Structure 1
């Protein structure tokens, strides 16, 4: 998006660098795993990581002293304050999608913006009320659903921010939900009426939208992701679905997790499925294969998978523990001295990010570094 990022600059006072603060490295559960606390913003005790790209750039939040702040960490650990809001995604170019909620004229509004290298631009439609945007692709394109009324909350319209303008998508709500976009610009989402109505999943290429193949059920479709091959995964009625072309396959009972890395380029998907006792277990659905129980105690969930097939997730409800699953082997990632650790994302170069409590039971953003598995296939 040439020139887009010159439109709105983050005020100099809102940019705080923590370059002088080194990453705090502590022993992990395994000698070959390094765990480091990511430096926080001054005055904010709680930090959470939310994503990482293959450059090693990390995004997350700072909480506890006024509005939540979006944070960007360099590969070396320097923290930058990106302003109020929560980051939803980061692409391989370092562009960060941020959403900020506020009140205007007595109504709640939500606006997305894209940040890169100290500059940001509001990408929400003019005059829209609540704008929902959860994904950004490698070209900086952002799909979104929104209310056309400044005072509205129901998502009645959809568009893609592309090359500095909004391209309308021919789907109508209310209750649209846009889930993901791949680097070809193909968008997927669902229509989820609050009460009665037509519930379906859809795919949009350019300005043409088509309904995805349907399966019987009563709940709405939850579309979770799309890869570059156009494979789409999601859920309906506690069943995992995979769409390829105009065909849909019910993979098994279970649920694909929520997040930007639940589907990789090989077509593997992650989430959880109940065992014979009804306990939720971390599960991998490999492309073309049967579901794989990852072998960690329940309740547990797999939350992200990279293009090498490495999976991260958590086990335990009250005191979750972070794990990495690789080729059938589980590695416990450890914590910052507290009782809880939970990963949210990983890249293809051995970096896992998430959150952990420290010895004082304060939640901190954390980065685990594990040996890389090898080249991406």
Structure 2
């Protein structure tokens, strides 16, 4: 058994992972389906007058959230402190803006589009600035580290995607990756290169360092792989799998979640089923080494898991047949969404062995996107009419 020391608990990051503590896999019994906690407070985040919908995308450890609201058909980037909101402006040529990530220091990064959606730029607020993505059309911000390096997904040509890092000084660094999912505190990007005819079009997992140096990660012969998040001790979280060509475009099909560390590829196993994979949200790993993802069970259901110190823990569901995690904080609290006994989709907070139903106040479905180290959860509630509203939950 290979043992790695966990890093000491420190200020949390946006988009960094930690190396895992024990590289051995033991499955524990699935947790019983949890009931709602006795005290769940949901607060709809304020929006400008006339807003028809709102979304929240991130929250930092100071409790400041960011996202967007649609007003008169135009998206406006918003920053929500403990009370009220601040509008983050687009530009005259790109008025439709949305904020994607915020650091603990308060840097906010997002994107803005022209009125006809034919042009898009990456914007940075506090301090204000922009980032050019040469030779590609930026789609949006996938992740952000505490240094302010933003991982941007872009289109480089017909059916050609790429990942670019935008820096606080406005410069950018291409990674060459077909896809990028997470960026670490040191600027390393986790993702994958596209396959070639020679390797059967299998995706090649890789990390690209801040200076542009790419390191391809090992995969068994004939298999594909994708890296989803990185850690400060050299560990990389991802998945092994196969490539499907059924649509004419190579599509990665995950088989099992893995950790690459110290030259080894360690499979994390499953919850009794046939497949597992880490979360692809840029929040798959906490600073303390907890990994989140989904796995099939022996009965064919798909459940959220938390992998901690060599054990894969079944987080259960809210009474339904599936659950999906979206983020984990440094206290090991996990948020995401799950089906309920009635078949509805509700946001959840898993903490201390219990899954709490956050409900869908004012709507019929909800989704949790992020949780900070204080246990504050942000996400959205969707009404029967299809309107989305940004919400902050507190569980006591």
Partner residue, 2:215: 210
Contact 1:217 1:236 in 2 (8 A): no
Q: What's the CA shift for 1:193?
A: 4.5
The 1-side partners of 2:191 and 2:146 are apart by 19
Change (3 A) 1:193 1:97: farther
Partner residue, 1:304: 327
Residue of 61, 64, 68 corresponding to 1:54 = 61
Q: Does residue 87 in structure 1 map to residue 91 in structure 2?
A: no
Q: What's the CA shift for 1:160?
A: 3.2
Q: What's the CA shift for 1:223?
A: 2.5
Q: How does 1:186-201 map to 2 (within 5 A)?
A: 186-193=188-195, 197=201, 199-201=203-205
Q: What's the CA shift for 1:70?
A: 2.4
SS at match of 1:45: strand
Q: Does residue 141 in structure 1 map to residue 149 in structure 2?
A: yes
Contact 1:124 1:131 in 2 (8 A): no
Superposition RMSD on alpha carbons, in Å? 3.0
Q: How does 1:254-269 map to 2 (within 5 A)?
A: 254-269=276-291
Q: Does residue 346 in structure 1 map to residue 358 in structure 2?
A: no
Q: Using the TM superposition, name which of 249-258 and 220-229 deviates more.
A: 220-229
The 1-side partners of 2:186 and 2:101 are apart by 17
Partner residue, 2:182: 180
TM-score w.r.t. the length of structure 1 is 0.77
Contact 1:52 1:58 in 2 (8 A): yes
Change (3 A) 1:246 1:111: farther
The 2-side partners of 1:351 and 1:51 are apart by 11
Q: How does 1:205-284 map to 2 (within 5 A)?
A: 205-207=209-211, 208-216=213-221, 218=223, 220-237=224-241, 238=254, 239-252=256-269, 253-284=275-306
Partner residue, 1:335: 360
Change (3 A) 1:319 1:194: farther
Identify the structure with the greater strand proportion.
Answer: 2
- Runs of 5+ in structure 1 lacking a partner? 1-27, 372-377
- Runs of 5+ in structure 2 lacking a partner? 1-34, 91-95, 242-253, 270-274
Q: What's the CA shift for 1:109?
A: 4.4
Higher relative contact order (Cα pairs below 8 Å, separated by 6+ residues): 2
SS at match of 1:42: coil
SS at match of 1:337: coil
Q: What's the CA shift for 1:103?
A: 8.4
SS at match of 1:99: strand
- Deviation string 1:5-36 (CA, Å, 9 cap, x unpaired) is xxxxxxxxxxxxxxxxxxxxxxx954432211
- Deviation string 1:299-332 (CA, Å, 9 cap, x unpaired) is 2112211100011122118521122111212222
Change (3 A) 1:144 1:249: same
